[in-house]
Structure formats: C-alpha cells, structure tokens
Structure 1
Amino acid sequence: MSNCHSHGPQDFRHESLLMAPYRIRKYRESDREWVVDLFSEGVAEYAPITFRHILKLPRTLVLLFGGPLAVLLASGSWLLALATNLTLLVLLRLFAKYPWNEFKVLVLQSDMSDITKFYLCDHGSCFWVAESEEQVVGMVGALPVNDPTLWKQKLQLLHLFVDSGHRRRGIAKALVRTVLQFAQDRGYREVVLCTSMLQHSALALYRSMGFQKTALLIR
C-alpha cells in the first residue's frame, strides 16, 4: 500500500431538487473497489457498441449473408446454413469484446493497479471521484503526458466514467472541469485525451467543452 499523501483539498458540490446531491473529491484507498467496478462496467459498455458497428460494415454483411448462402448451396441444408450464421454472429461478438477486455486488463495492471502511487504521489497528477449517497458514481484521472520534452506542458485526461444510473446530471462535465481547473492551477498549457469514434456521447461532451479533434483531442 502506498504511503503518499494527496495534495490540496478540492471539493465540488452539486444539488438537485429531484436527485440526491453529489460531490467531487480526491480519490481515497477506500474507494478502490467502487472505482474498479465502475471502470469495468464502463468498459464493458463499449463491446455492444462495437458489435453493432461491426454489423453495419459492408464486409460483415457480405460475410453474414454470403457465408450461410454458400453453405446452403453446397449442402442443401437450411439448418446448417442457420448454424453457420449463428456461429458467425457469436464469433463477431467475441471479436468485438476482445479489444475492450484487453484494454481493461492492461489498465488494471498498470496505472490503476495502484491509483495512489500513480496519481497521488506527484504534484502534477491527480485522481478524483464523484460521490453520491456515500457511493462512488463517477471517476476521472489526470497524468502528465509521458514525454520528457512535453513535461509540464500537456496533461492527459484519463478514465472518465459515470455510473449509468447517475448520468445526465452534469457529473461528467463537473469531472472534466475539475481536470481543467487542476491543469490551469498546475501551469499546464493543454489538456489532451484519447477516445474512439464509437464513443459518440463522450465526443459530444468533449467538443461541447471546447476540445478540438487532432491526433488527440486537445483543449
């Protein structure tokens, strides 16, 4: 267990007449189980999105219709053709899940293996959670870009996730604003992040907050 101390208390609160209030605060070790579960559930949401995207690709349509048709013409069996189609769908679903599973394992074995060590031991990095009714419902991290020539110039926003039951409450925006304020306070010139073209809601959020699309999204 790391013995580092987080820097400077920073607490943001929001209250709604219809929903329970939430606050954004620095990560604590007691949050770990919540954060890992939130991260894992958030990453898992991308697999169905990727699967639906793959199904719309022209090559996939050719495969799904042409493969069973070829089996039908060769064997004369509708049952075998149907089995071929179902098998292809299962394989495509596994294919869609594979990169996200690999990403989850990579992250949980790297920077999120010890959040205190990687994010809270240095003045130029941090990790925050959004808390509502004593539960962690959102998270985001920030690390300097891993390039000695850019150190203290660019800060990377990482692992922005909000629990599905607590979305559309402004939590994601509040977390991003927290990172932007942190970057300004620490003297960073830019905040950058990576996301995929399939994460439509995330892209819309970042663009609404002034990020521009480049090799990385940059604000």
Structure 2
Amino acid sequence: MAPYHIRKYQENDRKGVLDVFSAGLIEYAPTTFRHILKLPRTLVLLLGGPLTIFLVSGSWVLPLMTSLALLVVLRLLAKYPWTEYGVRALNTDMSDITKTYLTEQGSCFWVAESEAQVVGMVGCLPAENPALRRKQLQLLHLFVALEHRGQGMAKALVRTVLQFAHDQGYSEVILSTSALQHSAQGLYESFGFQKMHRLYYSLIWRVIAVPGTYFIYHLPTSQVPQAPQQGEDL
C-alpha cells in the first residue's frame, strides 16, 4: 500500500473529497438495510402483511408481489437518511469548504493524500453552544476510502484534530456518529472519547430505530495522547 500524508484542504481537492464523502455514505446503506430487516416491526410487516393477503385472496401471487414490493421500499428507506445527510452537508458546510473551514482561526479541514489522490478527510468547527462557557471543537466528516483502510489513516486524522484543538486552546472535542457505525465508535473510544448521550437526528432516523451517539473528549493540558495501535482502521 502506498504511503500517505495529511495536509490542509486546497480548492483542487474538492472532487476527491466529494468522491470519498459520497462513497463513505453509500457504504452504510446495506448495513442499515440489514438493521431494518431485524426490527420486530419489520418482521411483523413482512410476514403478517403477505399472510393476511393470502388468507383473503387465496393466491400466493399477490402476497409474493407484496413481499418483493416491501423489500424494495425498505431498501430505499435504508438509503434515504444517508442521502439526506449528504445533501444537507453539501448544501451547508461542504458547499464551500474553504469558506467554511479555512477562512477563520479555530476551524480547519484536512485531507489524506496518497499518490496524488485524496483518500481520506476530516474537518472541525467551533461548536455552536452559547450556553457553555467551555470552548468546544466539533469533529466532522471523518472518512477514509475503503481501499486505503488498515493503515492507521483514520487514527492519524483524529490525532490531527485533537492536536489542532489543543494548539487552539479548546477544552473539549465533540462529535456524533450513528449507532450503526461500530468501527468509528471503537476508534473514538480508543482515543479516550466518552459517550454522552443518544439522540435521534430526525424523524426518519427514529423510524428506522438508529439513534445518533454523541461523544466528548476532554483535552489534557499536556500533549494529546496517541491511540492504541492495535485494531482495525476505518
């Protein structure tokens, strides 16, 4: 595997960043679909609905067609929240990455580059919470291309954000992931991030029973610690 290096985002990185971002989101659709299929309400729908139609109609054709239609709908449902998240990001903070992340002190966006290609990314912005007196930095959009995982790239990107937060005088770093992003959660916990609470991002996330998990990292006054080296990368 070719080596990589991490640097600040440049305008000519945009296409590569969007490719990594889009591919990373699409990956979670199959996982979400499998999760939906295991929900009790889904099992009742898939088994009870066609059975009821069979008992009423006396034919297996209509129940079979109903089951196939339900599976198609559920597959679209599994993809929708990730698509919605991507569209929202592309219309807000990622619509102009330079303007959002690189024009003011206290925020930044980095890419991981290998063989002149963007293969990883992460950003951070000051957390908008006027009720808190503590300075919080929010970690956003951590993605690594599938074929470049296993090199410690995700760990290096998180470490870059933590060091930046330390250097900028932040006291805490916060982030959120969905409950289905098990590898991401394990990565953050390896650095010492602590779970705060769970919350559904929107109605669609509640419908598919996938809450968001919020994490917090309390920055030490000394050097930022390194994550353990064992375990699989994102």
Separation in 1 of the partners of 2:7 and 2:59? 62
The runs of 4+ residues in structure 1 deviating greater than 6 Å are none
Q: Alpha-carbon deviation of 1:150? A: 4.0
Q: Alpha-carbon deviation of 1:148? A: 3.2
Match of 1:193 in 2: 175
What is the aligned-residue identity percentage?
68
Match of 2:57 in 1: 75
Q: Alpha-carbon deviation of 1:147? A: 2.2
Match of 1:4 in 2: none
CA RMSD of aligned residues (A): 1.1
Number of residues of Structure 1 aligned to a counterpart in Structure 2: 201
1:25-36 to 2 correspondence within 5 Å?
A: 25-36=7-18
- Whether the aligned pair in 1 keeps the contact of 2:177 and 2:185 (CA below 8 Å) is yes
**1:47 and 2:43 are equivalent in the alignment:** no
Q: Normalising by structure 2, what TM-score?
A: 0.84
Separation in 2 of the partners of 1:63 and 1:147? 41
SS at match of 1:128: strand
What amino acid is the match of 2:215? L
SS at match of 2:63: helix
SS at match of 1:111: coil
Q: Alpha-carbon deviation of 1:61? A: 0.6
Match of 1:137 in 2: 119
Match of 1:218 in 2: 216
Match of 2:152 in 1: 170
Q: Alpha-carbon deviation of 1:152? A: 6.7
**1:101 and 2:99 are equivalent in the alignment:** no
**1:182 and 2:161 are equivalent in the alignment:** no
Separation in 1 of the partners of 2:132 and 2:41? 41
Aligned partner of 1:146 among 128, 153, 158: 128
Q: Normalising by structure 1, what TM-score?
A: 0.89
- Whether the aligned pair in 2 keeps the contact of 1:145 and 1:151 (CA below 8 Å) is no
Separation in 2 of the partners of 1:37 and 1:127? 16
Match of 1:61 in 2: 43
Separation in 1 of the partners of 2:116 and 2:18? 16
Match of 1:5 in 2: none
Q: Alpha-carbon deviation of 1:47? A: 1.4
